[in-house]
Amino acid sequence: MMAHSGTLRDAFLNEVRDIHDAERQLIRALDRLAKAASSPDLREAFEAHVDKTRAHVDRLERVLEVFNEKPRRTHCAGMAGIIEQGHSIMQADFDEITMDACLIAKCRRAEHYEMATYDVLVAWALAMGCAEAARLLQQTLDEETAMDDILSAIAGGAVDHSAAQAVLRPREGDTSAMAATTAPGKSTRR
């Protein structure tokens, strides 16, 4: 296949290179998220996804090989922004449960960014008649979706519930948390 300026092939390769960089950025970010997580389940999910993310990078390089291309240095500004937001959250002074809830939220944002990209890439590969690239990209899309499901389950389990319960329990001598959860005009007395 010969490259022509402005073709779907060019757009496809640009997107592949962009998500390739995003995945490489995530490898480093997931290590930091794992260290910041207090929930053993969450830490384990982040650690396991580092290995999957390395496989995603390898798979993207195989996709480029299908098109007789090599990885080029491209910077994914979108993922860099998501990671920077996650880094900012890790600097915040949250209790452990709330921090875990925030880490899940930021990681799910990254997963959805990836899922949207891989979904488009699969469709474009199929449109160009490249079943091998589509198969490789679909495999990664399935793994990203599975990670999002894992994070959702962890969040829906103990983490989000515990963080919400912490809001409802006023700290010693602090009635503001309780007052904030009471509707205006309603008494907090029982």
> Got the DSSP string for the chain?
----TTSHHHHHHHHHHHHHHHHHHHHHHHHHHHHH--SHHHHHHHHHHHHHHHHHHHHHHHHHHHTT--------HHHHHHHHHHHHHHHS---HHHHHHHHHHHHHHHHHHHHHHHHHHHHHHHHTT-HHHHHHHHHHHHHHHHHHHHHHHHIIIIIHHHHHHHHHSPPTT--HHHHHTSPTT--S--
CB 149 within 8 A of CB 142: no
Per-residue model confidence (pLDDT) at position 18: 97
Q: Is residue 189 part of a domain?
A: no
How does pLDDT run across 28-66, given as a tens digit for each residue?
Answer: 999 999 999 999 999 999 999 999 999 999 999 999 999
CB 107 within 8 A of CB 86: yes
Q: How many domains are there within the chain? A: 1
Q: Is residue 24 part of a domain?
A: yes
Q: Is residue 174 part of a domain?
A: no
Q: Is residue 179 part of a domain?
A: no
Say if residue 168's pLDDT is above 50.
no
CATH number for 75: 1.20.1260.10
Model's pTM, two decimal places?
A: 0.79
Q: Is residue 188 part of a domain?
A: no
Q: Is residue 29 part of a domain?
A: yes
Q: Is residue 97 part of a domain?
A: yes
Q: Is residue 125 part of a domain?
A: yes
Assign 180 a pLDDT band (cuts: 50, 70, 90).
Answer: very low
Q: Which domain holds residue 157?
A: 8-169
How does pLDDT run across 125-167, given as a tens digit for each residue?
Answer: 999 999 999 999 999 999 999 999 999 999 887 554 444 444 4
